[in-house]
Structure 1
Amino acid sequence: MVDLVVKSLIKMAAQTFCWLLLVILVSILTGSQARRGQDIRCGACRALVDEIEWEISQVDPKKTIQKGSFRINPDGSQSMMEIPYVRSETHLIELLERVCERMKDYGEKTDPTTHRKIYVRVLSRDGKTMDASATNLEKEMLSDLKFTCEHIVEEYEDELLEFFSHETDNVKDKLCSKRTDLCDHAVHIAHDEL
């Protein structure tokens, strides 16, 4: 009888241990997936800002676009004016429509200090390969980065237009961390150079 009780207790302890181990593994996997999701949202936002800032820097600041109404006023004139093209809504919307295609030029690395995933260019803007050592270039990761970028553009289009319609310092921090909380862990990430 004692042997039966001991065997039963050992079986219950083994089952409890297995359930406890399963719960721990699920919580670890869920936590790492949440962290990866946060890292990719932050990385996509920061890459998006880099790409838009670079595109803006490539436009001739003297280039203008007409803005106003095409209606004719009672005096026969039109209410049209010339504004700088570089930060016009028209130009910014064009950029937002194509900027996420640039995510294919990025790779995923692990930051040695924070152990977080970061996203870095592996192709220069002129198409030359850059140092891609210790960089994840898997199609699935690139697809996730592009999808996340597209989601950010869709969800935060108004904020992106607001920030880029005039020059602003530290757009990455202001937009990605403070305004959207996409990088709530990353307020102190070093700024990349164009």
Structure 2
Amino acid sequence: YSVLARSHSGLLTSPKLLAASLLLTVSVVSVSGANDADLVCSACRIVARQLHQNVESEANEGRTVDSGSFRVDSKGNQRVNKVPYARSDTHLTNALETICEQVQSSWGHSPHSSQPSIRSFVPLTRTDGQAADTSRLTSGSSVDNWLRMRCESLLDDHEEATKSLLQLSQPKPLTMDQFERQLCLETARVCTEPLIALPIEEPPTLPSAATDDKEAKTEEATAESASEEAAAHDDSAKTEL
């Protein structure tokens, strides 16, 4: 801007150059955003799934909380109802306040196995308890900070809608997949059908020492076999001579 559109006197000398400069800036920002579309969708999905899991886990506890008016009417009655604590405004507010910190250090990202051109977030641990091989995942403080920023931006923009979706209970609460689609595809609109259809993957298992030893022995045997074949070939050549 300062190089293209200002003269030595400090006045704008070329509105066309200024417009071109601004257009270039907007284009760069747009392209950058488009390049991150896969990760933005994936970030929304893992936030949605973790939120749903937290709420359903609390719902299984069966706790309730009083809701309604505590004022006494002319007949001495109070209009107070027992509602599930898990879907109360108090619990959901707390759940939304803590979710971004919860997810920020638990994920890395890598190309999706079924669509290598698309990146997706992958948990750093496996649900089956086996050691995870995270060597091919992009992770660390920069990924953590980016994920937290996306999480906070999502919930700042859609806090009330997120609560409303989690409070739905008639005829029954949304499943995890339904909540994920409603939040990320319909409400926030950060996902497309192809992106949200991709399964969330787990990291591969870390090869055991026994597996490593077996692979090393196999490679050694292959090398020895190749060496023996080369020696036999040399002997055959000498015999012919």
TM over 0.5: yes
Give the Cα–Cα distance (whole angstroms) in 2 for the partners of residues 83 and 128 of structure 1.
39
Q: Show structure 2 runs of 5+ residues with no match.
A: 1-24, 203-241
Among candidates 162, 176, 188, match of residue 184 of structure 2 = 176
The structure-2 alpha-carbon separation of the partners of 1:50 and 1:81, relative to structure 1 and needing over 3 Å to count, comes to same
Aligned pairs (5 A) from 1:41-52: 41-52=40-51
Cα deviation, residue 137, structure 1 = 1.0
Give the aligned partner of residue 5 of structure 1: none
What percent of counterpart residues are identical? 22
RMSD after superposition: 2.9
State the TM-score, normalizing by the size of structure 2: 0.60
Q: Shift of the alpha carbon at 1:94?
A: 1.0
Once the 2 structures are TM-superposed, how far is the Cα of residue 76 of structure 1 from its aligned partner?
Answer: 2.2
* In 2: Cα distance, 1:66 partner to 1:46 partner: 32
Q: 1:47 to 1:111 in 2, by over 3 A?
A: same
| Residue in structure 2 matched with residue 157 of structure 1 by the alignment | 159
Post-superposition Cα deviations, 1:81-112, rounded to whole Å, max 9, x if no partner, equal 10111222221111001000122111111213
Aligned to 2:11: none
1:93 maps onto 2:93 in alignment: yes
**Counterpart position of 1:19:** none
Distance 2:136 2:164 in 1: 36
User: Does the 8 A contact of 1:61 with 1:85 survive in 2?
Assistant: no
- TM-score (ref. length: structure 1): 0.74
Q: Tell me the amino acid that sits aligned with residue 105 of structure 1.
A: S
Structure-to-structure mapping, 1:102-181, within 5 angstroms: 102=102, 103-112=104-113, 113-123=115-125, 130-166=132-168, 167-169=173-175, 170-181=178-189
Check the 8 A contact 2:154/2:188 in 1, yes or no.
Answer: no
Distance 1:139 1:49, change over 3 A: same
Structure 1 match to 2:229: none
- Name whichever of 99-108 and 51-60 sits farther off: 51-60
Unaligned ranges ≥5, structure 1:
1-25
| 1:189 is aligned to 2:198 | yes
CA distance in 2, matches of 1:107, 1:82: 41
What's 2:235 paired with?
none
Q: Structure 1 29/188 Cα, relative in aligned 2: closer, same or farther at 3 Å?
A: same
Q: CA deviation at 1:141?
A: 1.6
Name the amino acid aligned to 2:153. Answer: H
In 2, are the aligned partners of 1:63 and 1:86 still within 8 Å (CA)? yes
* Cα shift at 1:192: 6.9
Question: Which of these two proteins has the greater Rg computed from alpha carbons?
Answer: 2
Shift of 1:146: 0.4
Distance 1:79 1:129 in 2: 53
1:19-63, Cα deviation, whole Å (9 max, x unpaired)? xxxxxxx9x976762234322321221111111122123223421
Higher-RCO chain (CA-CA 8 Å, sequence separation at least 6): 1
Spell out, residue by residue over 1:5-31, the C-alpha distance to the aligned partner (whole angstroms, 9 max, x if none): xxxxxxxxxxxxxxxxxxxxx9x9767
Rate the CA distance shift 1:116–1:31 in 2: closer, same or farther, 3 A. Answer: farther
